[in-house]
Structure 1
């Protein structure tokens, strides 16, 4: 099974969202936050497409990679789910390392907040990520969808109506 950055991101947010996404159940095309994020991604740094490369490796797609400085640029609309965004970027860095890129780094960018955060891969991260991969595989291979987590972040999720339809 090839994992994507979204698998890792969703693993750190909600196992139910991860399971639904993996099984092809998506409501992202109808959610305003997703549309806003897509527009931000396309317009925040218009010069990026000419300066950096898009690369695909082992199921991941990195939109903005600087091969000269070995920097992955990841754009997010908000820092509310920062842990999940950092984990996703760390996963990208490990995949690059697995393909022979020495010491890649990442920049997590929040254009609306005018903030950036440098992300590096530590030995602890290198040890944790294979555990994430195994846990993700275990979750998506389950026959039954994990339960609703019922947290405040659920109200902003594209799966909200699906998860709470009976309430």
Structure 2
């Protein structure tokens, strides 16, 4: 079992991947980078950079990076941009993670999931149920990260467009 000098830092990306692919959680947390030339990653970056241009982008807070940050009527709003709603539950929990981290620091905020290609948005607020679910996810992430090897490859609906597919399936 690997020994870390500190507990793994859990940001929104690890929360997202914990719901998509446990293997990616391990790979990311161990510094294995995805294929930077992957067309789907490039498309995601382009959508993120070219959408909502009048709002502050890529704001770091602790171990997380919010896609958008704005203020509406005195309320802090955190936005998460996704190219589609295909993984909406993972997106909700990623955004809920950001809101939970802010709440732990005494900062009240609300969240917006944004799907510019679908011209759709969804409001997200932190609830006790979401907090409990996130607490379970954090434990799962820590268990995955301290494992000496990545979880076995398991094919799922996301594998086809995954930037790690060559690593897992070659």
After TM superposition, the score normalised by the length of structure 1 is 0.90
Q: Structure 1 stretches of 5 or more lacking a match? A: none
Q: Structure 2 stretches of 5 or more lacking a match? A: 1-7
Query: 2:68 matched to which residue of 1?
Result: 64
Instruction: Compute the RMSD of aligned alpha carbons.
Output: 1.4
Query: 1:125 matched to which residue of 2?
Result: 130
Contact 1:2/1:58 (CA < 8 Å) preserved in 2?
A: no
Candidates 19, 23, 48, aligned match of 1:16: 23
Query: 1:45 matched to which residue of 2?
Result: 52
SS in 2 for 1:152: coil
Residues in 2 aligned to 1:77 and 1:28: alpha-carbon distance in whole angstroms = 18
Write out aligned runs for 1:29-108 (5 A).
29-49=36-56, 55-67=59-71, 68-102=74-108, 104-108=109-113
Residues in 2 aligned to 1:101 and 1:66: alpha-carbon distance in whole angstroms = 14
The C-alpha deviation readout for 1:8-45, integer Å capped at 9, x for no partner, is 00000010011111111122412101101111111111
| Aligned residue pairs, count | 161
Could you list the runs of 4 or more consecutive aligned residues of structure 1 that deviate by over 2 angstroms after TM superposition?
53-58
Q: Which segment is superposed worse, 31-40 or 65-74?
A: 65-74
Cα distance, 1:54 vs. partner?
A: 5.1
After TM superposition, the score normalised by the length of structure 2 is 0.89
